[in-house]
Structure 1
C-alpha cells in the first residue's frame, strides 16, 4: 500500500457490551478505525454519543449479540456477564470476555460459552482507559482460550490495544493479569513506605521521586534472575546479595521506621517470610530471595 493509499479492506463488525470508562475507550478506537459497531449498555444514555458517531445501539444485550459474530464483553464483573448474556443465543458467536476476573471464573465461563455453541477468549487488559487506541502509550491485552478465534480476530482485537496470546487454557490471561497487578501493588506498597519515611523528616516528595524511580527501575533487572533461578531449581546461582545478608539488615529498616514514627506494616510480612526461609540455623543463607516464593505456595 502506498503512503497515500486508502485502506478499503472490509472491517470486521464488532458487538460491544458495556460502555463504562474502558468500554467507551474501546468503542472510540473501533469507530475511529472504521469498524461497524453495535453497542449495548445497561444505562442506555451512555450509548447516545456513539450512536451520533454511527454505532448501532441495541435495546437489549441479546439483540446486540444477535447483530454480529464477534462479541466483546466489557462489564463490571463475572456476575454481570452471566446476567447480560443469560437470554442471548450464543450459537456460532465468538465471545471475547475482557472482564477482570479469576482464572477459575474464566475457565468456568469458557465451558459455559462452549455449552451454548460459542467459541471463547478471555482477556486481561494491561492499560487504563486513556491509553486505549494510542499505540505509543503501550497498551496491550493478554488473551487465552481458543487460538483459532484469536488468530481470526487478531487484527480487530489489536485496534484498541496490542495483543499477547498466552495459551489455550482460558484462565491464563486472568492469571497473567493478576500476577502483574500483584507485583504492581507490591511496588506501590514499597513506594508508600518510602514516601512516608521521607515525609516524616520533611523531605520534599518531589526531591525523592527521581532517585526512587531510578532505583526501582534498576532493581527490575532482578526479575529475570529470579525466573532463571526458579527454572533451574537452584536459588544460589547469580546471587548478588544473599538472604543471610539481607535478613541481617531487617532490624535497621524496622528501627528507622520506629525512629521516624512510621508504621512498618507494609514491610513486616515480607521480612517475616525472609526470616522463615533463612531458618533458625541459617541453612538457606547463601540463597537469593527467591526461596520466599516456595513459602507462599499452599
Structure 2
C-alpha cells in the first residue's frame, strides 16, 4: 500500500506477532524503521530486513517522528515508557484495552508532553499492510491528520473522533457483532443438524440471511436516533411469537435454548412496558438497561 512520505522515520515498540507485522509493513513501504522489544531476539528478522534495533525504549522513541506501541496491555505500556522522555513525541497506542484505560493513557501522555492517539487493530497479523486490515484511531484530529499518510502503510486507517476511548469501544462493539452473528449461526446449525443437514449445506443460506439483516441496520439506526419505532416491517409482539417457535423447535430437537430464551425474555420485558406494537429496534432500551429485569 505505500504512500508519498516514505522518508518519514517510524518506531515500533513491542514485537509480538502483531508488532512484527506492523514494523514489517512500514519497512515494506520504505519507512526508516526503528524497533525495540524487551526480548531483543524478536527483532532479529526485522533487522535482517533493514530495521534499526534500539538499545533502549528511550532511544527508540528519539529515533522516530512517530512511535507505534503494541504491547501486552496498558500496564506494560506504562512500565516501558515511565522512565522515558516523552516530551515532544507522538505516540499511537495500538495495545488492546478498555476505553477507560485509553482515556487515562491519553491524560498521562499529555501530562508528559506527548501527543497521543489510541487505536485498535481490526485484523490478524498477516493482513497488516493490505486494505483488509482496518486500523481504528481516536484522539486529537490534527495529530491523526499529520500522520495519516504514514499510517496508510498499515492498511485502511479510520479516524473515529476526539475521544481517545472511541477506538476501544468500537473494537468491543465489533466483537459483540461478530459473536452475535456466529452464535446465531451456531444455533441454526445445531438445529438443522438434528435433521441431517450439515453445516456446509446451511452456511450459504445463513450468509444470505445475515446479508439481508445487515441491510436493515441504517434504517433501524435512524429509528434509534429518533427514538421513534413505527412497525414498518413487523411488530415486536410478532417477533416474540417467532421466538417462541424457535424455542419450541429447539426443545423438541433437544438443542440448547439458552440464547433464544434470553432474547425472548428481553422482548417480553419490552412488550410488558408497552412496546409490543413497535419495531424490533425498540429493544435498544433493554440493551441500555444495565440491570436487565
The TM-score bracket by the shorter chain reads over 0.9
Cα 1:10–1:141 shift into 2, 3 Å: closer
Mapping 1:108-123, distance limit 5 Å: 108-123=104-119
Instruction: Map Cα deviations across residues 143-189 of structure 1 (whole Å, 9 max, x no partner).
Output: 11121111110001111111111111111111122212211111111
Match of 1:232 in 2: 226
Match of 2:263 in 1: 270
Match of 1:168 in 2: 162
Instruction: Map Cα deviations across residues 178-229 of structure 1 (whole Å, 9 max, x no partner).
Output: 2122111111111121121122332111111111111111110121122110
Contact 2:3–2:29 under 8 Å retained in 1: no
Partner of 2:275, secondary structure, is coil
Measure, in 1, the Cα distance between the counterparts of 2:191 and 2:39.
45
**How many residues align structurally?**
288
Mapping 1:1-298, distance limit 5 Å: 10-135=6-131, 138-236=132-230, 239-279=232-272, 283-297=274-288, 298=290
Partner of 1:220, secondary structure, is helix
In structure 2, the gaps of 5 or more residues are: none
Partner of 1:142, secondary structure, is strand
Contact 2:193–2:199 under 8 Å retained in 1: yes
Measure, in 1, the Cα distance between the counterparts of 2:255 and 2:41.
47
Cα 1:227–1:52 shift into 2, 3 Å: same
Instruction: Map Cα deviations across residues 227-262 of structure 1 (whole Å, 9 max, x no partner).
Output: 11012110116x212101001122211111112221
**How far off its partner does 1:7 sit?**
8.4
Root mean square deviation of aligned Cα: 1.8
Contact 2:224–2:284 under 8 Å retained in 1: no
Partner of 1:293, secondary structure, is helix
